[in-house]
Structure 1
Amino acid sequence: MAPLWDSSWSSTWRSLSGYSPIQNSDPGTTTTSATDPSHLKPSIGQILMSKRVRYAAFSLAAIGVVFLAFRNYDRIPSLDSFRNGGSAAASSNSVCPPAIIPSAEGDNINWSRYAYTQYVTNAAYLCNSVMIFETLHRLGSKADRVMMYPEKMMNPTETNPTSDDARLLVKARDQYKVKLVPVSVQRRAGAEATWAESFTKLLAFNQTQYDRVLNVDSDGTILQIMDELFIMPPCPVAMPRAYWLFPENKILSSQLMLVQPTQVEFDRILKKMDVADRDDYDMEIVNQLYADSAMVLPHRPYDLLTGEFRGDNHQGYLGTDHEEWDPVAIFNEAKFLHFSDWPVPKPWIPMSDAVREERQPKCVDKNGQQDCSARDLWNGFYTDFAQRRAVSSLRS
């Protein structure tokens, strides 16, 4: 079966530290970066030589419908939602040590005690999760892989699946060594459709067959394995800050959650869900419970937004105003890339050429030369996702 990933994309991009002349989006226009050619490695032009996925153009009206339908995918929760009830929430009794990232090397680690987890609520996210697990399998992650999927999607004892969803689950199990865990989807009646089932993510707290699980959102791309997080000092929960809101608001990002599953913590989650406000979802729940007690993981390199490449002010991500923004260096160090680019749709939703041209990062002047590295990286994220998804899907 064809691989889900063009391995040259990852290995070549990961090695980048400079560029040779590359093509601008305008035919016949050549741009050159100002990176020192003395340590030049494969250029982004070479990497992006593969044919880009071109989507059929939508009419302006259709684009408007798509944006309205999916506008909440990149929702930034209301700050009031974190404050309401947050002070009254019981906080964990554990005092977590500072986040010191250890090395995951060594033969004395029992990796069967740890797992990457994904939750699935529908066919679209099933495909995304299979892509996450394919990446972990290809990159050689040592920890287990667990997919929490709707129990109605497939009978766990089924040996000859007939539906596309069931066959994709079997593919994950047999090809990528994924342990399938049927669950009841946690759905809130009357909630906004995009987030109504997001509580299912919190079932990671109930995977007590493991000492620790790492849940990453499936609307992202794993760029490097993160096995080292499993052997960090003990703490019920560890998450990065939502750096795009920091330092004004010290909110935890649930895009990546390192959890020590226990019945005690899961009971706390369930109780908080029972009394959650109408606009409280997974991110609000974990912040109300763990905002002051969680171990804070460094968002750099564990939680990078694609929208960062379109921005002008990168101080929040860099953590300083003394470091120059270098898109290639940032990409090379990043381990998890989350697709968050409103009003650009999520990568499995077709993006018209007009939207891509309008919203893609701009080329910048660098020492008198045009540097389009951020633009080419950003376009590469979406093109690569679409290509891998087309291969992973069992649908026509």
Structure 2
Amino acid sequence: MAPLWGSSWSSKWGSASAADANASGSNDLKPSLAQILTSKRIRYTASALATVGFFFLLFHNYDRLPTLATMRGGYSAAAPSNADCLPAVVPVFDDASVDWSQYAYTQYVTNKEYLCNSVMIFESLHRLKAKADRVMMYPENMMDPAETNPQSHEAKLLVKARDQYGVKLVPVSVQRRSGGDATWAESFTKLLAFNQTQYRRVLNVDSDATILQPMDELFIMPPCPVAMPRAYWLFPKDKILSSQLMLVQPSEVEFDRIMKQMESSGRNDYDMEIVNQLYADSAMILPHRPYDLLTGEFRGDNHQNYLGTDREEFDPVAIFNEAKYLHFSDWPVPKPWITMSEGMRKDKQPKCENKNGQEDCTARELWNGFYTDFTQRRTKVCDTAARTRR
């Protein structure tokens, strides 16, 4: 049987001088431990054992290995997997250290009726000094984004948004699909937010709303492909995501998923259904307080879904003061740019309450104020007193 240390080692040491042999007192040369450990065969054997051990540990603990995203830390070019989404907690950050040009508030416009609403959203962001960029996706046939001499009313509004409110204009092809409800046929255009890959993160908000406070802190949330609040008015019976506000990490991968889901969706599936089909169980859940308050909440009698508890009293002023995004959703009350008869207003406005023997009409005053404020701002921002119909 060949010696363990191999022929190369014995050949080297077999040529030792006789004097060395005599000095050892023996004709049989015996290698030292250090010589054995440095032999080639020992090194090969140790390497093989180490490799086997490495792969055993690798496959035995594959689920504990860090992902590429976690090794890089924070945001990575590739959207993290759903398992990597952390709870929606705003980390401590310094405004001055954030490159806000990597983030944007986005709006989509499908027709001239909604163009004014979008410009109003950007006017609010400008007035409130929101730090992130502002991007409007609008029908490519409305105007060249570099237009300097607008003629149509739509073109003038687009130029106003660009020049006065710092909005970046992105012409797009409106995404339209016929379905059971013509109202939402073009709402798929909203999903183009997933394709704004020039940004690290975008916050898309519906334009039938009022922004009450900046929401820049959402951009610094832990990484996740999509973050949305729940439709709290349906919770807990239905755990549905609300697409009125979507925090998105644009990527080719996610946009491709969105487009494929659109192609296979049914006649009654629109933007909200599509995002729920894809992200219902994986999206980061944003708190609806303060990011998604419905105007209809002020008309209701039971506020447990919004408050999240039956132990808290609904304080209209406190709720309004904490809210950052107020969505006009008041069925059967029409949207605020559509004429509402005085009879409907009086019939549907919140009821006054009796508190400590006195009449309290705070909720009613706030609710009426929402609609009055919207009408006044629409006239001022869009320079028109005409209310358009949906």
What is the CA-CA distance between 1:155 and the residue it aligns to?
1.6
The alignment status of 1:210 with 2:206, answered yes or no, reads no
State how far apart, in whole Å, the 1-side matches of 2:232 and 2:256 are. 29
State how far apart, in whole Å, the 2-side matches of 1:113 and 1:379 are. 38
State how far apart, in whole Å, the 1-side matches of 2:276 and 2:243 are. 9
CA deviation map 1:192-224 (0-9, x unaligned): 221000000000000000000000100000000
CA deviation map 1:14-43 (0-9, x unaligned): xxxxxxxxxxxxxxxxxxxxxxxxxxxxxx
Aligned 1:107-256 pairs, distance under 5 A: 107-256=96-245
What is the CA-CA distance between 1:248 and the residue it aligns to?
1.1
State how far apart, in whole Å, the 1-side matches of 2:384 and 2:307 are. 41
What is the CA-CA distance between 1:242 and the residue it aligns to?
0.3
State how far apart, in whole Å, the 1-side matches of 2:164 and 2:250 are. 27
State how far apart, in whole Å, the 1-side matches of 2:179 and 2:248 are. 29
State how far apart, in whole Å, the 2-side matches of 1:353 and 1:180 are. 38
Larger Rg computed on CA atoms: 2
State how far apart, in whole Å, the 2-side matches of 1:348 and 1:270 are. 31
Equivalent residues of 2:208, 2:335 under 8 A apart? yes
SS state at 1:98 partner = coil
Normalised by the length of structure 2, the TM-score is 0.77
The alignment status of 1:99 with 2:110, answered yes or no, reads no
The alignment status of 1:356 with 2:345, answered yes or no, reads yes
What is the CA-CA distance between 1:92 and the residue it aligns to?
5.5
The answer for the alignment partner of 1:335 in structure 2 is: 324
State how far apart, in whole Å, the 1-side matches of 2:92 and 2:113 are. 35
Mind listing any 5+ residue stretches in structure 1 that lack a counterpart? 1-90
Aligned 1:291-330 pairs, distance under 5 A: 291-330=280-319
State how far apart, in whole Å, the 1-side matches of 2:180 and 2:146 are. 33
Equivalent residues of 2:178, 2:267 under 8 A apart? no
Equivalent residues of 1:104, 1:227 under 8 A apart? no
2:253 to 253, 256, 264: 264
Equivalent residues of 1:237, 1:290 under 8 A apart? yes
Amino acid at match of 1:366: K
Report sequence identity in percent: 77
Equivalent residues of 1:118, 1:148 under 8 A apart? yes
- CA 1:394–1:107 in 2, change beyond 3 Å: closer, same or farther? same
Amino acid at match of 1:153: M
Equivalent residues of 1:111, 1:144 under 8 A apart? yes
The answer for the alignment partner of 1:25 in structure 2 is: none
State how far apart, in whole Å, the 1-side matches of 2:81 and 2:259 are. 15
Equivalent residues of 1:211, 1:260 under 8 A apart? yes
What is the CA-CA distance between 1:111 and the residue it aligns to?
0.1
State how far apart, in whole Å, the 2-side matches of 1:341 and 1:382 are. 11
Normalised by the length of structure 1, the TM-score is 0.76
State how far apart, in whole Å, the 1-side matches of 2:154 and 2:194 are. 25
The answer for the alignment partner of 1:88 in structure 2 is: none
What is the CA-CA distance between 1:191 and the residue it aligns to?
4.6
Mind listing any 5+ residue stretches in structure 2 that lack a counterpart? 1-79, 386-390
Equivalent residues of 1:150, 1:182 under 8 A apart? yes
Equivalent residues of 1:344, 1:355 under 8 A apart? yes
CA deviation map 1:23-75 (0-9, x unaligned): xxxxxxxxxxxxxxxxxxxxxxxxxxxxxxxxxxxxxxxxxxxxxxxxxxxxx
CA deviation map 1:60-108 (0-9, x unaligned): xxxxxxxxxxxxxxxxxxxxxxxxxxxxxxx964431111023564311
SS state at 1:370 partner = strand
